[in-house]
């Protein structure tokens, strides 16, 4: 804990020297950043001593909660044994071997080899190169187009940002990296027509993939890339009809399927990977974040046997790699994290307790005057804030009301993130009834306070 003087100084120095990601720097300078000094289990503390329930698990990361000693000890022991060695020149080391084997065991059956990086963006860049390289090796170099979706978030490097759908991100990196197309999101609340059933909407959203494949020419399409549940785009949960239809289309045109499981991997929706929940057969899974519960950077790409076979059929290098591919300390921490998740049955517990508990909390607010819809799957949840519940009409100036609500959440000692006017949550997998009760109380108060701020804008 720091005193008031130190807090002020930290905020000043932060404003002077630290350029924050994804931030409006003018308002950040004016208001100063909140200084987070400590974490423990489901809570973090700020420098003024406020305890905050972390409804975002850090940033969709801390599945086992904050500050577990076992992970610190795993890092410490590995640093004393072998803090770093590369995996480039026919060298390997025990932690990377053990983690690769573990991930192959947890992933769908056909995915058995892992390429490592340090961030989700890197893993998607790796996947993009691998996909295009694969088609060259198969003698179909024209297959370069990767289709993804409008609210996709795949990262901030240039290739991953180009594969992402968010127009505001594209604006910062014109010209975009070539070869990406974006189709509609499978989120009924945003895109469904009045009277259209969820099932019909799911099929329509999936068939947008087929339309796009036909529009650009199937012979030019390399892959479809998608988060099984869209996270940063606003926890957009596809209807049950969506993924089977996408799988049918992927199979029909023989394109690759890239499942970006950077958020959904490692238990978030009740299976190790969300691909297993939806019964889809990706050729590539990208992962990051919760593989170490965010304690240390680590990411990777788990690769289908067929792609590996194509690499093996050509005795040439895949010219791609990062200094920290398979970093021994990160791998040791990941192994301990996965061991804890298994020992504490955190993944089945999402189906047995935490997932239903989150759904129950959110359902309490579906009749609130500000709330258009609540939805969740496993431990991913969302609350849509709207001006008119009946027509799904949103507030003017998207994002404004979301920020008001987010600030009320913070003052109530609870973190939820605002994606424009959609409030999203991604709690750690360790929550007990006590944390769900706290979240419920905080959400109730924050929604009421937000409502009183915008009451004049709500449809009667
Ligand atoms: N794929 C997905 C699905 C992600 O959610 C990335 C890739 C990129 O990972 P890295 O490690 O390069 O950041 C992400 C990251 C937010 C937010 O505000 C979400 C992410 C990152 C930063 C902020 O919701 N997701």
pLDDT of residue 93: 98
pLDDT of residue 348: 98
* Mean residue pLDDT across the chain: 96
User: What mean pLDDT do residues 78-102 have?
Assistant: 97
Distances (CA, A) of 369 to 120, 387, 406, 447, 450: 37, 9, 17, 9, 11
Distances (CA, A) of 274 to 114, 227, 267, 287: 18, 9, 8, 11
The C-alpha atoms of residue 52 and residue 55 are separated, in whole angstroms, by: 9
pLDDT of residue 4: 77
Question: 333: closest CA among 69, 75, 58?
Answer: 75
**3-state class (DSSP) for residue 413:** coil
Residue 288 CB–ligand 1 contact under 6 Å: yes
Asked if residue 173 has pLDDT above 80, the reply is no
Question: 53: closest CA among 455, 413, 437, 446?
Answer: 413
Q: Closest ligand 1 atom to the C-alpha of 124?
A: 7
Q: From the CA of 65, how far away is ligand 1's center (Å)?
A: 18
Q: Closest ligand 1 atom to the C-alpha of 230?
A: 3
pLDDT of residue 282: 98
Is residue 85 within 8 A of residue 93, CB to CB? The reply is yes
Q: How is residue 174 written in tokens?
A: 């014109």
Is residue 440 within 8 A of residue 352, CB to CB? The reply is no
Tell me the pLDDT tens digit for each residue of 273-298. 999 999 999 999 999 999 999 999 99
Nearest alpha carbon, ligand 1 atom 1: 154
Asked if the bond preceding 175 is cis, omega within 30° of 0, the reply is: yes
> Quick one: CATH architecture of 34-64+345-457?
Alpha-Beta Complex (3.90)
User: What mean pLDDT do residues 184-212 have?
Assistant: 97
Q: How is residue 95 written in tokens?
A: 């932690």
Q: From the CA of 78, how far away is ligand 1's center (Å)?
A: 27
Asked if residue 179 has pLDDT above 80, the reply is yes
What percent of the chain shows pLDDT beyond 70? 99
Q: With residue 334 as reference, give the H or E element that holds it.
A: helix 328-343
Asked if residue 2 has pLDDT above 70, the reply is no
Beta-bridge mates of residue 180: 146
pLDDT of residue 210: 98
Q: Rounded to 5 degrees, what are φ and ψ at 14?
A: -60, -45
What is the dihedral sign for C-alpha 308, 310, 316, 322?
negative
**3-state class (DSSP) for residue 348:** helix
Query: In the structure, what pLDDT confidence band is assigned to residue 404 with cuts at 50, 70 and 90?
Result: very high
| CA geometry: angle 152, 281, 243, nearest 5 deg | 55
Q: Is the pTM of this model over 0.85?
A: yes
DSSP conformation class of 24: -
User: What mean pLDDT do residues 205-225 have?
Assistant: 98
Domain boundaries, the chain: 34-64+345-457, 70-343
What percent of the chain shows pLDDT beyond 90? 92
Q: From the CA of 288, how far away is ligand 1's center (Å)?
A: 9
> Quick one: CATH architecture of 70-343?
3-Layer(aba) Sandwich (3.40)
**Helices 433-454 and 400-411, interaxial angle, to 10°?**
130
Residue 119 CB–ligand 1 contact under 6 Å: yes
**3-state class (DSSP) for residue 296:** coil
Q: With residue 307 as reference, give the H or E element that holds it.
A: helix 305-312
Q: From the CA of 133, how far away is ligand 1's center (Å)?
A: 25
User: What mean pLDDT do residues 385-411 have?
Assistant: 96
Maximum distance among all alpha carbons in the chain? Answer: 69
Dihedral angle, C-alpha 196, 202, 204, 205, nearest 10 °: 120
Residue 263 CB–ligand 1 contact under 6 Å: yes
pLDDT of residue 243: 98
Q: From the CA of 232, how far away is ligand 1's center (Å)?
A: 7
pLDDT of residue 169: 78
Q: How is residue 320 written in tokens?
A: 């791609």
Tell me the pLDDT tens digit for each residue of 361-384. 999 999 999 999 999 999 999 999
pLDDT of residue 316: 82
Tell me the pLDDT tens digit for each residue of 229-259. 999 999 999 999 999 999 999 999 999 999 9
Task: Sort 56 into a burial class: Cβ within 10 Å, 0-12 / 13-18 / 19+.
Answer: middle
Asked if residue 1 has pLDDT above 70, the reply is no
Residue 260 CB–ligand 1 contact under 6 Å: yes
Q: From the CA of 287, how far away is ligand 1's center (Å)?
A: 10
Q: Closest ligand 1 atom to the C-alpha of 157?
A: 12
Asked if residue 44 has pLDDT above 90, the reply is yes
The C-alpha atoms of residue 30 and residue 21 are separated, in whole angstroms, by: 16
pLDDT of residue 97: 98
Query: In the structure, what pLDDT confidence band is assigned to residue 330 with cuts at 50, 70 and 90?
Result: very high
User: What mean pLDDT do residues 31-54 have?
Assistant: 95
Tell me the pLDDT tens digit for each residue of 428-449. 999 999 999 999 999 999 999 9
User: What mean pLDDT do residues 19-38 have?
Assistant: 89
Q: How is residue 367 written in tokens?
A: 């009749």
Which residues fall within 8 angstroms of residue 144, CB to CB, at 6 or more apart?
Answer: 132, 135, 178, 179, 220, 222
């Amino acid at each position: 804990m720091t005193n008031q003087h130190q807090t002020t100084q930290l905020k000043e120095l932060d404003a002077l020297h630290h350029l924050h990601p994804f931030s409006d720097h003018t308002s950040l300078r004016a208001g100063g950043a909140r200084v987070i000094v400590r974490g423990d289990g489901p809570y973090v503390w700020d420098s003024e001593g406020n305890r905050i329930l972390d409804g975002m698990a850090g940033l969709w990361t801390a599945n086992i909660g904050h500050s577990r000693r076992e992970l610190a000890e795993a890092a410490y022991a590995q640093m004393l044994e072998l803090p770093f060695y590369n995996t480039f020149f026919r060298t390997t080391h025990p932690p990377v071997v053990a983690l690769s084997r573990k991930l192959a065991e947890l992933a769908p059956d056909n995915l058995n080899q892992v390429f490592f990086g340090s961030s989700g963006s890197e893993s998607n860049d790796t996947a993009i190169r691998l996909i295009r390289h694969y088609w060259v090796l198969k003698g179909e170099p024209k297959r370069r187009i990767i289709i993804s979706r409008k609210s996709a978030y795949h990262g901030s490097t240039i290739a991953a940002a180009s594969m992402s759908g968010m127009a505001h991100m594209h604006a910062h990196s014109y010209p975009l990296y070539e070869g990406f197309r974006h189709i509609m999101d499978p989120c009924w609340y945003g895109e469904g027509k009045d009277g259209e059933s969820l099932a019909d909407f799911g099929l329509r959203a999936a068939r947008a993939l087929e339309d796009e494949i036909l529009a650009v020419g199937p012979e030019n399409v390399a892959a479809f890339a998608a988060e099984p549940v869209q996270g940063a785009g606003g926890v957009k949960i596809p209807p049950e009809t969506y993924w089977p239809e996408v799988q049918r289309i992927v199979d029909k045109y023989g394109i690759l399927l890239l499942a970006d499981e950077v958020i959904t991997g490692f238990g978030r929706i009740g299976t190790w990977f969300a691909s297993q929940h939806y019964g889809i057969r990706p050729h590539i899974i990208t992962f990051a974040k919760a593989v170490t519960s965010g304690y240390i950077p680590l990411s990777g790409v788990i690769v289908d046997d067929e792609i590996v076979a194509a690499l093996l059929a050509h005795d040439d290098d895949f010219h791609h790699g990062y200094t920290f591919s398979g970093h021994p300390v990160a791998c040791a921490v990941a192994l301990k994290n996965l061991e804890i998740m298994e020992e504490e049955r955190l993944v089945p517990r999402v189906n047995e307790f935490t997932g239903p508990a989150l759904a129950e909390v959110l359902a309490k607010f579906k009749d609130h005057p500000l709330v258009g819809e609540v939805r969740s799957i496993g431990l991913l949840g969302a609350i849509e804030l709207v001006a008119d519940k009946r027509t799904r009409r949103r507030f003017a100036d998207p994002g404004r009301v979301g920020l008001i609500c987010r600030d009320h959440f913070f003052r109530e000692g609870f973190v939820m993130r605002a994606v424009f006017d959609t409030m999203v949550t991604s709690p750690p997998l360790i929550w007990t009834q006590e944390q769900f009760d706290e979240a419920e109380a905080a959400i109730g108060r924050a929604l009421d306070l937000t409502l009183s701020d915008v009451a004049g804008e709500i449809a009667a």
